[in-house]
Amino acid sequence: MADAKLAPSLPQWMVDHANRYIASGGKDGHIYTVTPPGHLEMHVPSLLLTTTGRKSGEKYIFPLFYGEDGKNYIIVASKGGAPQHPNWYRNLVANPEVEVQVGTKKLKAKARTATGAERDRLWEKALKFWPPYADYAKKTERQIPVVLLEPVD
């Protein structure tokens, strides 16, 4: 991830969070504490996803909340319920080979969008680590993608 940079146009809270995560080598920032509107304070696990830009070919880092499914990581392309998919999702659809940092652990993974019953099962898991996804789904016409990051040996 040495040649990667923070994605452009991230909200300031994500920039601050990612910079803290990167500067500490993952010791600080893995668990993000936040109080979303309408919810109690939450302690949410977060990872750093590095994708390859579908147009630029450059590597970009995105801080994202995650859950686990066996040895795989679950991430959700919600973009807060915006009408379009987030850039990181469009990047990994174009190139599913990604890098992931979970706390101090760094690994390579292949990203795959879950479908059907698998997506439904993983969506329920995602609602447990970040309940506001349910609110985001109500705000958009699109089905919010649920992505599995499968570690590559």
pLDDT of residue 9: 86
pLDDT of amino acid 15: 93
Q: How many domains does the chain have?
A: 1
**Per-residue pLDDT at 1:** 53
The residue among 16, 64, 13 whose CA lies nearest residue 35 is 13
Structure tokens at 8: 């452009």
- Please give the Cα distance from 114 to 123 (Å, whole number): 9
Distance between CA 16 and CA 110 in Å, rounded? Answer: 27
Residue 36: the pLDDT is 86
**pLDDT value, residue 18:** 94
Confidence (pLDDT) at 125: 98
Domain extent, residue 128, equals 5-151
Burial class (CB in 10 A: 0-12, 13-18, 19+), 130: buried
Residue 153: per-residue pLDDT: 76
Strands 42-52 and 59-65: antiparallel
pLDDT at 76: 98
Please give the pLDDT value at position 3.
Answer: 85
Query: What is the Cα–Cα distance from 73 to 52, expressed in whole angstroms?
Result: 19
The domain spanning residue 26 has which CATH number? 2.30.110.10
Q: Which amino acid is at 95?
A: N
Q: What is the pLDDT of residues 88-127, one digit of tens each?
A: 999 999 999 999 999 999 999 999 999 999 999 999 999 9
User: Which pLDDT belongs to residue 2?
Assistant: 56
Residue numbers of the chain with a pLDDT score lower than 50: none
